[in-house]
C-alpha cells in the first residue's frame, strides 16, 4: 500500500496520463488524420506531453484546489 502522503502525486500521475493521452490522441487525429503512422505519432506526442501535464498538475494543483474551495460553499 502506498502512504497517504503520496496521494496528490499518484492522483496527478494518473490524471495527467489519462488526460494527456485523450487530448493528444484527438489533436493528432485532427492534425494528421488516420493513416498507418497515426498511432506512432500519437504515442510520440503523448510521451512528450505527459511529463509536462504531470508537472503542471503537481505545481498548480494545490493552488487550483484552494481557488475552487474559495468559490464553493461547504456542505452542511
Query: What pTM was computed for the model?
Result: 0.85
pLDDT digits (tens, 9 = 90+) for 1-21: 999 999 999 999 999 999 999
In the predicted model, is pLDDT for residue 75 greater than 90?
no
- At residue 48, the pLDDT reads 98
pLDDT digits (tens, 9 = 90+) for 27-43: 999 999 999 999 999 99
Q: Which residue has the cell 502522503?
A: 5
Strand (E) or helix (H) holding 24? helix 7-32
- At residue 9, the pLDDT reads 94
Q: Decide: residue 26, CB within 10 A, 0-12 exposed, 13-18 middle, 19+ buried.
A: exposed
In the predicted model, is pLDDT for residue 76 greater than 90?
no
Instruction: Average the pLDDT over 47-61 and give the result.
Output: 96
Amino acid at each position: 500500500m502506498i502512504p497517504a502522503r503520496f496521494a496528490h502525486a499518484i492522483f496527478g500521475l494518473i490524471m495527467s496520463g489519462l488526460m494527456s493521452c485523450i487530448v493528444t490522441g484527438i489533436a493528432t487525429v485532427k492534425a494528421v488524420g488516420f493513416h498507418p503512422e497515426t498511432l506512432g505519432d500519437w504515442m510520440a506526442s503523448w510521451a512528450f506531453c505527459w511529463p509536462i501535464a504531470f508537472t503542471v498538475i503537481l505545481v498548480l494543483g494545490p493552488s487550483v484546489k484552494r481557488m475552487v474551495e474559495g468559490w464553493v460553499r461547504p456542505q452542511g
